[in-house]
Amino acid sequence: MKKETKNKNTFERVYEIVKKIPVGKITTYGQIAHLLGNPHLSQVVGFALHSNPSQSTIPCHRVVNRFGALAEAFVFGGINEQRVLLENEGIKFLENGYVDLKQHMWYGD
DNA sequence: TTAATGACCTATC
DNA sequence: CGATAGGCCATTA
């Protein structure tokens, strides 16, 4: 017996939010978790992207940690690849290799 | 099946 | 002020 089918899990919630990120902007796991209602869901957010069931649909490269640094573990072909992707969208990187959160930090809608 | 981990963040001592 | 532990959800072994 299945339970309710329209039960939207937090996972899908994360996907919806990540997919809603406008081009040229980025967000952090904590921000998404906060939008979900629990700031501690940040772990789930990272896991959602890790599973990446819709890698082609979910711009994981737009999601960075709270420091504005990209997760070196999730880079598909190298951190450089991600930097190029973000720069291609108009995101500027700092000399330290971090993203300028003050410039592209996206706060939900 | 149970158990433990994980691309994290926040709160507390 | 600095460091530590906890927490939440789903996936994987």
Q: Which two tokens stand for residue A81?
A: 């690849």
- Of A89, A98, A102, A73, nearest to A21 by C-alpha is A89
Calpha distance A25→A91 (Å, rounded): 7
Q: Which of A60, A63, A64, A70 is catalytic?
A: A60
What's the CATH architecture for A10-104? Orthogonal Bundle (1.10)
pLDDT for the residue numbered A95: 84
Q: What is the mean pLDDT of residues A2-19?
A: 75
pLDDT of residue A71: 75
Separation in Å: C8 C1' and A41 CA: 5
Residue A43 in this model has a pLDDT that exceeds 70: yes
Query: For chain A, which residues make up each domain, given as ranges?
Result: 10-104
Asked whether residue A11, judged by its CB, lies under 7 Å from any atom of the DNA or RNA strand C, the reply is yes
Does A60 qualify as catalytic in the annotation?
yes
pLDDT digits (tens, 9 = 90+) for A84-107: 889 999 999 998 888 999 999 999
